[in-house]
Amino acid sequence: MSLFPADITATAEDIIRDFTAAGLMVSTAESCTGGLIAGALTEISGSSAVVDRGFVTYTNVAKMQMLGVQEETLARFGAVSEETARQMVHGALFRSRAHLAVAVTGIAGPGGGSPEKPVGLVHLAAKSRSGKLVHRKMLYGDIGRTDVRLATIRTALQMLIEIV
C-alpha cells in the first residue's frame, strides 16, 4: 500500500520504469510540498536508479544556501514567483548529478495568501541539462492544504515526463 493516491503512485511508477530504462536521474527542489515529490518517487522500488537527491528549501535562506537563489530575486519577486522557481530548478539541476530537475514554490494555505498571491498559487519549473525549461503557474484555488500539495505533486511529475 502506497502513502500516495493511486494516480500519483502510477505516474511515479511510470517515471521510475521509463527513466531507469533511459538512464536518467532526477533531483527535486521543493518548498510548499516539503519533499513529497521526492517521497512519491522514492515510494517506488528501484527508485535509487533515478532519484539523485531532493532539496527541501522551505525558507528563503535555505533557497539561497542550498540552491543558489539570489537574495535580489527573493526581495524583488518573492519566494512564490516564476523567477524563484526558475532559479530553484537551476540550482537543483546543477548542484546534483541529475539529468532533469523539478522545482516547486507556492502557497498551500490555509493562511499566507494575498490578493496578488492567493492560497493555491504554485509556481513550478522543470529543466533538463540540454537546456529545455518549462514553467507553469498553477492556481489550484483554496482547496485545502493537502489537496494543493497533492495537485502540485501531480503537476510536477507530469512536467518531469514532458521535459524528457
What pLDDT, on the 0 to 100 scale, is given for residue 2? 85
In a domain, 125, yes or no: yes
Q: Indicate which CATH number applies to the domain containing 29.
A: 3.90.950.20
Neighbours of 53 (CB within 10 A): 16
Q: Which residues contact 145 (CB under 8 A, 6 or more apart)?
A: 108, 109, 110
Q: pLDDT (tens digit, 0 to 9) for every residue of the chain, 164 residues total? A: 789 999 999 999 999 999 999 999 999 999 999 999 999 999 999 999 999 999 999 999 999 999 999 999 999 999 999 999 999 999 999 999 999 999 999 999 999 999 999 999 999 999 999 999 999 999 999 999 999 999 999 999 999 999 99
Please say whether the beta carbons of 139 and 79 come within 8 A: no
Looking at the structure of the chain, the number of domains it has is: 1
Query: How far, in Å, CA of 104 to CA of 91, rounded?
Result: 12
In a domain, 81, yes or no: yes
Range of the domain at 126: 6-163
In a domain, 1, yes or no: no
In a domain, 82, yes or no: yes
What letter represents residue 31's amino acid?
S
What pLDDT, on the 0 to 100 scale, is given for residue 1? 77
Query: How far, in Å, CA of 52 to CA of 10, rounded?
Result: 20
Please say whether the beta carbons of 100 and 24 come within 8 A: yes
In a domain, 108, yes or no: yes
Please say whether the beta carbons of 136 and 81 come within 8 A: no
Query: How far, in Å, CA of 95 to CA of 90, rounded?
Result: 8
Looking up cell 494555505, which residue turns up? Answer: 109
Let me know if 19 is exposed, middle or buried by CB neighbors in 10 A (0-12, 13-18, 19+): buried
> Taking the complete model, does pTM exceed 0.95, yes or no?
yes
